[in-house]
């Protein structure tokens, strides 16, 4: 349900599910039909597999690798009315291995013939949920600067782009970095400056801009973009400055009780750290995964508190809170701090 100040029930649009592999075709319930499902083995080394309804089932891209899109039978077999079904592939369903799935809902198809509509300069098609501020956008690169309709009715705060046809970095636009910089989901590197990424142009309520870098607009290449706009009580994309405290780190106000928090040191080398409300059921969280790394889940150290209205750092680890470095983040809600009917979020 949506209302003028945000979303009352975020789990209608984003949900995390946990399962143990069994090498048997199995359906998993998340409460809605997802359009993007991100799967990762937890207790062993293994890639992050991304599947979405636009590219089609069994077609994967991996955030910890730069390689082109691959197809593997018996991976994600279907997007179902209340979840998804995995096949027998060891990539997503090894017997006895613990797994996590992060799931987002888009749901409304769109196409754009740029020359006919006058919106953008490169044709696009995809799926969008304007209430939740999320779209998946497919397009073919031209090798030249251009603009692409994203389907949202407001400017994206964050965009993740992957070249499906070639081995290229995953390119990320984040509003806290600005339109002259990009950062790569598939590496641990700091943000990079250059007009080749987003043509030094911020997204608008209808389009986002691309430069000339092959990873984002390679001529004749198929590309996919995941676009996110902030929605009160549901999602937030911002930055914070570290204070290097091992127990009393920065507090990041989100305005909701987080279900997923991903952060990255933008001013230096570190991986993308992932914490959620399902793998760690109490504070401080200890179960972390790494979007640009294949390694197993780390569980040994206190990291962050997931609070009723934000996140509190409880470590001076380099992935979260070292020196006076700058970090960017993306976050999605379990529950808004206060719903439209006055129901407050409770602490963990």
Q: Give the model confidence (pLDDT) of 289-337 as tens digits.
A: 999 999 999 998 999 999 999 999 999 999 999 999 999 999 999 998 6
pLDDT at 22 over 90: yes
Per-residue confidence at 342, pLDDT binned at 50, 70, 90? low
Inter-residue contact 345 to 338 (CB < 8 Å): yes
pLDDT at 344 over 70: no
Q: How many CA atoms lie within 13 A of 139 on its CB side?
A: 33
* Cα–Cα dist 124/277, whole Å: 34
* Cα–Cα dist 275/285, whole Å: 7
* Cα–Cα dist 127/225, whole Å: 11
Q: Is 323 left (phi over 0), alpha (psi -120 to 50) or beta?
A: left
pLDDT at 274 over 70: yes
Domain ranges for the chain: 13-104, 120-228, 236-336
pLDDT at 99 over 90: yes
pLDDT at 141 over 60: yes
What SS3 state is found at 246?
coil
When mean pLDDT is compared across 87-101, 196-210, 324-338, the lowest value belongs to: 324-338
* Cα–Cα dist 264/111, whole Å: 33
Q: How high is the pLDDT of residue 1?
A: 44
Per-residue confidence at 53, pLDDT binned at 50, 70, 90? very high
Instruction: Classify burial at 281, counting beta carbons within 10 Å of its beta carbon; exposed 0-12, middle 13-18, buried 19 or more.
Output: exposed
Q: How high is the pLDDT of residue 8?
A: 86
* Cα–Cα dist 114/124, whole Å: 8
Q: In angstroms, what is the C-alpha Rg of the chain?
A: 19
Q: How high is the pLDDT of residue 4?
A: 41
Q: How high is the pLDDT of residue 331?
A: 98
Neighbours of 22 (CB within 10 A): 14
Q: How high is the pLDDT of residue 338?
A: 64
């Amino acid at each position: 349900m949506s209302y003028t100040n945000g979303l009352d029930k975020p789990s209608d649009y984003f949900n995390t599910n946990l399962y143990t592999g069994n090498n048997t075709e199995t359906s998993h319930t998340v409460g809605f039909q997802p359009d993007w499902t991100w799967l990762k083995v937890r207790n062993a080394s293994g890639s992050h597999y991304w599947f979405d309804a636009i590219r089609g089932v069994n077609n994967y891209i991996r955030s910890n690798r730069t390689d082109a899109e691959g197809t593997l039978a018996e991976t994600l077999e279907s997007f179902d009315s209340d979840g998804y079904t995995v096949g027998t592939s060891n990539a997503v369903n090894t017997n006895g291995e613990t797994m996590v799935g992060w799931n987002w809902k888009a749901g409304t198809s769109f196409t754009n013939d740029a020359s006919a509509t006058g919106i953008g300069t490169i044709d696009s098609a995809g799926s969008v949920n304007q209430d939740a501020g999320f779209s998946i956008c497919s397009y073919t690169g031209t090798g030249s600067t251009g603009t692409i309709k994203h389907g949202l009715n407001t400017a994206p705060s964050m965009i993740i782009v992957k070249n499906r046809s070639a081995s290229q970095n995953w390119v990320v636009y984040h509003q806290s970095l600005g339109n002259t910089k990009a950062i790569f989901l598939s590496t641990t590197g700091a943000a990079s400056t250059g007009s080749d990424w987003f043509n030094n142009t911020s997204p608008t309520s209808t389009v986002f801009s691309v430069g000339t870098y092959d990873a984002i607009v390679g001529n004749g290449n198929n590309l996919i973009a995941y676009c996110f706009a902030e929605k009160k009580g549901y999602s937030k994309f911002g930055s914070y400055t570290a204070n290097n405290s091992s127990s009393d780190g920065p507090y990041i106000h989100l305005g909701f009780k987080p279900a997923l928090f991903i952060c990255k040191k933008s001013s230096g080398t570190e991986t993308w750290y992932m914490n959620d409300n399902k793998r760690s059921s109490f504070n401080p969280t200890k179960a972390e995964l790494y979007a640009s790394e294949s390694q197993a889940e780390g569980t040994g150290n206190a990291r962050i508190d997931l609070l009723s209205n934000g996140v509190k750092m409880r470590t001076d680890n380099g992935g979260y809170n070292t020196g006076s470095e700058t970090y960017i983040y993306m976050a999605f809600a379990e529950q808004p701090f206060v719903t439209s009917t006055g129901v407050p979020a409770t602490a963990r």
